[in-house]
Structure 1
Amino acid sequence: MALAVEIYQLTKSFPPDERFGMSSQMRRCATSIPANIAEGFGRESRQSFIQYLRIAQGSLKELETLSELARRVGLLGGDESEGVASKCTSLGKMLRSLIRKLEQKGR
C-alpha cells in the first residue's frame, strides 16, 4: 500500500497531458499489487493465493519498467526513480519469499 501511495504522490507532478498516459498506467500497476495480494488471500486457497501473488509480481515488474521509462523521458528525477526502484526490489523479495514459503507448506 505504501508504494501505491507513493506512486500517486509522484505522478501528481506529471504534466496534464500524461494524466491518461504514464500517470494512469503507473497508478494502475501500483494499485494492482496490493489489490491482487488481498484478493488472493481472500480466496482462502493456498494455490489461488500463490497465483495472485504471481500476478502482483507481474504488476510490480511493470511498475519498475514504467518508473525507469518515466525517468528516461524526464517525468521522474533520478532520486525519485531510485527510491521507487529500491522499494520495488524490497517488495519483490518479500513476494518471492512468501510464495516460496506457501509452496513449501503445500508439499
Structure 2
Amino acid sequence: MSMIVLGECRANSSGSALRWLHDRAARLTRRSVAGLGQPVRAWLRDAGELERALALVAAGKSYVSTAVDTWGMRYAFTAEPVGGAVEPLVYRWEGAEWRRRT
C-alpha cells in the first residue's frame, strides 16, 4: 500500500496540532469526496474522541483516526509528537470549537 501525504504541519503544542488536524479534516468534508463526509463529520463532533486525541499527543503518543471513502480510499488523520518534549494540554474541545484552557 502506498501513502500520499496530503498535508503536514509542525505545531508548538498538542492543542495547535489537533486544531490544525481538525481544520484539515473539516476541509475534506466540504469537498466532494464521495462517502467521506459523514464519518469525518461524526469524528469532528465527537468531543470525547478529540479530548482523547489531545491527551495522547500531550503524553507523547501518536493519534490516528481513519475514514474510508466510497471507492475504498483510506484517509488517516494523524498527530504525533516529534523531536522530544510535547507541550502540556492547553486547549479543550467545547461544543463546536477549541477553547484555550486557563
Does TM, normalized by the shorter one, top 0.5? no
**Structure 1 length-normalised TM:** 0.36
TM-score, normalised by the number of residues in structure 2:
0.37
More helix by share: 1
The answer to which structure, 1 or 2, has the higher relative contact order (CA under 8 A, 6+ apart) is 2
